[in-house]
Structure 1
Amino acid sequence: MRKKMRDTPDRDRPRERLAARGPQALTNAELIALLIGRGTKGRDVWQVSGDVERCLKEAKGCPSYDDLLEIDGIGSAKACEIMACFELGRRYLEGDGVSGHRIASPADVLPLVAEWRDKKQEYFICITLNGAGEVIERRVVTVGILNQSLVHPREVFSEAITDRAASVILVHNHPSGTLDPSTQDIGITRQLVEGGSILGIRVLDHIIVTKKGYVSLKELGHL
Structure 2
Amino acid sequence: MNLKYLSDVELLENFMPKETAQNVLHEYSSIYNVMNNATEKQLKSFKGITPVRAKKILCIKEMMSRMQREKQKQLKIITTPRSVMEYFSFLEDKDKEEFWVMMLNTKNGVIGSKCVSIGTLNMALAQPREIFNVAVRYMASSIIVAHNHPSGDCTPSMEDIAVTKNIIKAGKLLQIECLDHIIIGRQHSISLKQEGVIK
> Cα 1:95–1:115, aligned 2, differ >3 Å: closer, same or farther?
closer
**What's the CA shift for 1:105?**
1.0
Could you tell me whether the CA contact under 8 Å between 1:125 and 1:140 is conserved in 2? yes
- Give the structure, 1 or 2, with the largest relative contact order (CA under 8 Å, sep 6 or more): 2
2:108 maps to which residue?
133
Question: What amino acid sits opposite 1:54 in the alignment?
Answer: A
1:188 maps to which residue?
163
How does the TM-score come out when normalised to structure 2?
0.65
**What's the CA shift for 1:121?**
0.5
d(CA) in 2 for partners of 1:113 and 1:61?
18
2:98 maps to which residue?
123
**What's the CA shift for 1:124?**
0.5
Is 1:143 aligned with 2:144? no
1:27 maps to which residue?
none
> Cα 1:133–1:114, aligned 2, differ >3 Å: closer, same or farther?
same
1:61 maps to which residue?
61
Could you tell me whether the CA contact under 8 Å between 1:98 and 1:138 is conserved in 2? no
2:25 maps to which residue?
none
Is 1:167 aligned with 2:120? no
d(CA) in 2 for partners of 1:163 and 1:133?
14
Kindly report the root-mean-square deviation, in angstroms, between the aligned alpha carbons of the 2 structures.
Answer: 2.7
**What's the CA shift for 1:151?**
1.0
Is 1:106 aligned with 2:81? yes
**Partner deviation per Cα, 1:64-103 (whole Å, 9 max, x = no partner):** xxxxxxxxxxxxxxxxxxxxxx98xx49xx7573376111
Please give the secondary structure, in 1, of the residue aligned with 2:99. strand
Give the greater-gyration-radius structure (CA).
1
> Cα 1:60–1:213, aligned 2, differ >3 Å: closer, same or farther?
farther
Could you list the runs of 5+ residues in structure 1 that have no partner in the other structure? Answer: 1-48, 64-85
Is 1:203 aligned with 2:175? no
1:37 maps to which residue?
none
1:4 maps to which residue?
none
**What's the CA shift for 1:118?**
2.0
How does the TM-score come out when normalised to structure 1?
0.58
**What's the CA shift for 1:55?**
6.5
Could you list the runs of 5+ residues in structure 2 that have no partner in the other structure? Answer: 1-49
> Cα 1:152–1:55, aligned 2, differ >3 Å: closer, same or farther?
farther
**What's the CA shift for 1:135?**
0.5
The total of aligned residue pairs comes to 146
